[in-house]
Amino acid sequence: MTSEVVALAASYMTPEGFGSSALGRRPWMDGHGKPCERKELMGIPWLSLFSAPCPRFGRMSPLTRLGLMAVELLDVGFADMTEEQRTDTGICMLSPFGSMATDIEFLREIGPATFTYTLPSSVIGEVCIRHRLRGPGLCLMSEEDTGRSIVAEACERIAMGEAESMLCLVCDAPGAEIRDLLKYALDQNGKFWWYAYALYLVRTDTVRGPGKTVAEMVSASGVDLCGMCLDLCGNR
């Protein structure tokens, strides 16, 4: 199935930087305009990254902001798509800890605005609303998987004719509090840091320009979705 699918765009956001297949790799800047080593999630200059206004962004959970922003960075040109193309574009997402940070916030202060974001799939909802995408959605939760299964799920939906194109999204925004509450000893590999990776996949026969097939990317790097995104962003 992977040979029938082409990756047209990729993006990422991590504490070290952000980028896309169009932009390349960019470091975060500090308040003085100098590159910084690691950026806290709360310090991201979100609004400067949007090309068009994003209503309600300030009310969204950190996880939702991350997912939405990663898709924004793809710069796929959803606005130029036909209604039919948007109807046939879906999203497969993976998030190990999902909305747990927002769950904690809600437990501390109960309110409707926070409750709305106590589902990891709220990311899918916000992306679909912003870009008017009406295709199939899926959100998996797994600590073991780093996104390969999500790419497979997206490819399968395209191959089965359920969608013409798919966004793949891996994002997480847990905090140190979750590590402490769950008694996690492991903090290696930045597991409790935030990150978002996005990949835009389309059926091979609908593409006119260049694009690596998913099969080529997997065989070339043998890596997961995060690795594919970094490859496409020129980060390796």
- Residue 45 burial class via C-beta count within 10 angstroms: exposed 0-12, middle 13-18, buried 19 and up: exposed
- Residue 97 burial class via C-beta count within 10 angstroms: exposed 0-12, middle 13-18, buried 19 and up: buried
Phi, psi of 124 (to 5 degrees): -60, -45
Site of tokens 């960075």: 73
42 vs 110, beta carbon nearer another protein: 110
92 vs 230, beta carbon nearer another protein: 92
Binding residue for another protein, selected from 77, 112, 209, 222, defined by CB under 8 A: 112
Length of the chain: 236
38 vs 132, beta carbon nearer another protein: 132
39 vs 86, beta carbon nearer another protein: 86
Q: How far is the CB of 206 from another protein (least distance, A)?
A: 10
Q: DSSP labels for 53-91? A: --TTGGGS-HHHHHHHHHHHHH---GGGS-HHHHHTEEE
- Note whether 103 binds another protein by CB under 8 A: yes
Binding residues with another protein: total (CB under 8 A) = 51
Binding site for another protein (CB under 8 A): 86-87, 90, 96-98, 100, 103-104, 106-108, 110-112, 115-116, 118-122, 124-126, 128-129, 131-144, 149, 156, 160-162, 164, 181-183, 203
